[in-house]
Amino acid sequence: MTHKPLSSLCLVTALALVPFASSAQTLRFAAQGDAVTMDPYVVEEVFTSGFLGNVYEGLIRRAPDLSIQPALAESWELLSPTHWRFHLRKDVTFHDGTPFTADDVIYSAERVRAGASDFKNRLAADTEVVAVDDHTVDFITTEPNPILHYTWANWYIMNRDWAEANNIGNADKAAAEESYATLHENGTGPFRVETREPGVKTTLTAYDGWWGKGSVPMNISDVEYTPVPNAATRVAALLSEQLDVVFPISVQDIARIEAAPNAGIKAGPEVRTMYLTMNQWRDTLPGSGLEENPLKDRRVREAIYRAIDIETIHARILRGRATPAALMVAPGVNGYSDTFKRYDYDVERSKELLAEAGYADGFSFTFQCSNNMYVNDEAICLAVSNMLAKVGIDAQANVQAKAQYLEAILAPNMDFGMAMLGTTPASLDSHIALYSLHMCPRADENSAIWAPEDQGQIIAGKSNFGGYCNPEIDRLANEILIETDEDKRNALINEAWTITTEDVAYLPLHQTWAAWGIRDKVDLQIRADNVFDWRYVVMPE
C-alpha cells in the first residue's frame, strides 16, 4: 500500500510526458568523420566548426544562402572606419543557465587569439575589444577593415565563468593533459551535448532556453550523430532507414539513392573552388630534369590551361555534378563575377603556345594529387595528366593519401610542378583569396620568394605554394583590405581578378557539387559551405 502514492505519481508524470514524447523527433545523422573536439578554437575544419555551430553561436551567423545574419549580436554599426559597435542580444543564456554578457565576448576575443588557436585570424592581434556596458561591445582596429565580422560566423562565444571554473586554458594542441573543453561544452546554441563518445556517437538534445525558439521551422528534439567513414556503410544505413541524413554521398551512389523508394538526394554546388597550382618560383621545375622552370612563362601556363578539357571532366568523372570555374572564388563569394570566362579548350592553340615558348617537344614535371580529400580527386588528376600528354607535356601524377600529399606540397617542401587543391575563403569574400593565395610569399620586396630563412614570417601569400607573384596584386590586395566604400572595393577586386586571370596565376577547375542523402519526408537546407544547420531540419510528424 505504501507504494501507491509513488506509483500514481509516476503515472501522472508519465501522462504529462506523453504529448512531448509523441512529438519528440530524433534526427539520426552520419558523416565521414567526427567533430574532432568540442573546444571551438582548436581546429578549423569545416565539419567540426559546422557541428559546433549547432551548440555554440557567434556574434553573427550565415543563413542558408550564406548571407550574414545577426546571432548573438542583434545589430552593429560603424562609429568610424576603425571603430565598430556591436549590440548584444539580451535574452541569451548559456546551457548552464548563466546569462550571456559583454564579458564573455571579451573573454572569447582573448582566448581565440591565444595559444594554439586555429582561429587567430578572426581578430587581428592589435584589435582592441572593449565592453561599453553589459550588452555593448566595441572593436577598435588599427586599420579600417570593412569585412571585420565576415569570418565571425564560426568564431563561437564561450562563457568566461564556465571556462575559469573548469580550468580551461588556451587552446593547446600539444598539451600533456586533456582539456575539460575537449568533451564538454557550454554554448548558447539550439542544441546541447548529452553524451559524447569521440569517433563513436554523440547525442544532443534541443536546449529549452534557446533564445531563437520559433524563429526557425526546426521540429527536432534530439540529434544522434554517428561518424561513418565507410561510404558503402553510410548508404546502406540510409536505405535501411537507420539514418535520416547522410553526408557526403559519392557521385557513384547518387543514382542508386535516387532510385530508392524511401530516400532521396539534395545536391548543390559547393563554395569550394578546385584548382591546379603551378610552381612558378623554383628555378628548376621539380621532376623535369630541366635547368630552368618553364612554368615561369605565362604562355606555358596558358598552354596547360587550354589543354584541359573541363567539359569532359565535368560530364564523365563528375557526371554533371560540378560547375566549371573561371575564377578562384565561387558564386556566393563577395567579388565573384560571371563576366570572367575560362580560356577555351584548344589543343592546337596550346601546342602553338608551347612552341612559341620553346617547348614544342614538351617537358615533364611532378603532379601531386590526393586520393581522399576531394570528390573524385584521383580520377580528375589522372584525366588531367592524360589530357596534358596530348600536347606533349608529361605530368607525372603522384597520387597519395591526404597525410603524405599535404606533406609534399605544403611549405617547407613544396615539392611539385603542379598540384590539385581546393580553396574556400573563410570570410566568403575575395580579399582572403587574394591575400593568402595570390600575394607574393616573401618577407619584403627585396627578399626571394619562399626564402627558407623567412618562411616562418610569411603571412601574406601563406598558401601561395606555387609562388605566383605580381606586385600589382600586392598593391591591390592591400587597398581592398582598407577600402570601406563598397562599390570602390568591388571595382578593385574586379581589377585584381582581371590581372590574375590574364597572368594565369592559377588554373581554376570547378566547384564540385556536394550531395546529401536524405530519408523521405525529411526536409533540410543544404549550404554551399557544407555546414549542416540543424535548425532548418523538419522531420515528418
**Which residue ranges make up the site for another protein (CB under 8 A)?**
33, 36-37, 39, 42-45, 116, 118, 120-121, 173-179, 182-183, 197-201, 226-230, 232-233, 236-237, 239-242, 372, 401-407, 410-412, 426, 436, 455-459, 462-463
Chain position carrying cell 539520426? 28
Residues 6+ apart with CB under 8 A from 465: 277, 279, 409, 410, 411, 414, 416, 419, 441, 450
Minimum CB–partner distance for residue 437 and another protein (Å):
10
Taking residue 478's Cβ as centre, other Cβ atoms within 10 Å add up to 16
Minimum CB–partner distance for residue 384 and another protein (Å):
21
Phi then psi dihedrals of residue 180, to 5 deg? -60, -30
Minimum CB–partner distance for residue 266 and another protein (Å):
21
Contact 244, 27 (CB under 8 A): yes
Residue closer to another protein by CB (options 116, 216) is 116
Chain position carrying cell 551535448? 193
Residue closer to another protein by CB (options 85, 462) is 462
d(CA 200, CA 155): 26
Minimum CB–partner distance for residue 452 and another protein (Å):
10
Q: What is the CA radius of gyration of the chain?
A: 25
Phi then psi dihedrals of residue 38, to 5 deg? -90, -5
Chain position carrying cell 621532376? 287
d(CA 535, CA 520): 18
Minimum CB–partner distance for residue 44 and another protein (Å):
4
- Which of 217, 422, 206 is closest to 328 using CA atoms? 422
Residue closer to another protein by CB (options 136, 455) is 455
d(CA 311, CA 317): 10
Minimum CB–partner distance for residue 118 and another protein (Å):
5
Minimum CB–partner distance for residue 421 and another protein (Å):
8
Residue closer to another protein by CB (options 266, 462) is 462
Instruction: Count how many residues are written for the chain.
Output: 541
Residue closer to another protein by CB (options 152, 405) is 405
d(CA 62, CA 281): 37
Minimum CB–partner distance for residue 403 and another protein (Å):
3
Residue closer to another protein by CB (options 350, 376) is 376
Residue closer to another protein by CB (options 394, 454) is 454
Minimum CB–partner distance for residue 37 and another protein (Å):
5
Residue closer to another protein by CB (options 304, 458) is 458
Residue 226 DSSP symbol? E
Cell (9 digits) for 324:
566549371
Chain position carrying cell 580520377? 379
Continuous segment of H or E residues that includes residue 488? helix 486-503
- Strand 26-31 to strand 245-246: parallel, antiparallel, or no bridges (unpaired)? parallel
Residue closer to another protein by CB (options 455, 470) is 455
Residue 106 DSSP symbol? H
Residue closer to another protein by CB (options 30, 137) is 30
- Strand 418-423 to strand 273-278: parallel, antiparallel, or no bridges (unpaired)? antiparallel
d(CA 477, CA 28): 44
Q: How far apart are the first and last CA of the chain?
A: 41
Residue closer to another protein by CB (options 179, 500) is 179
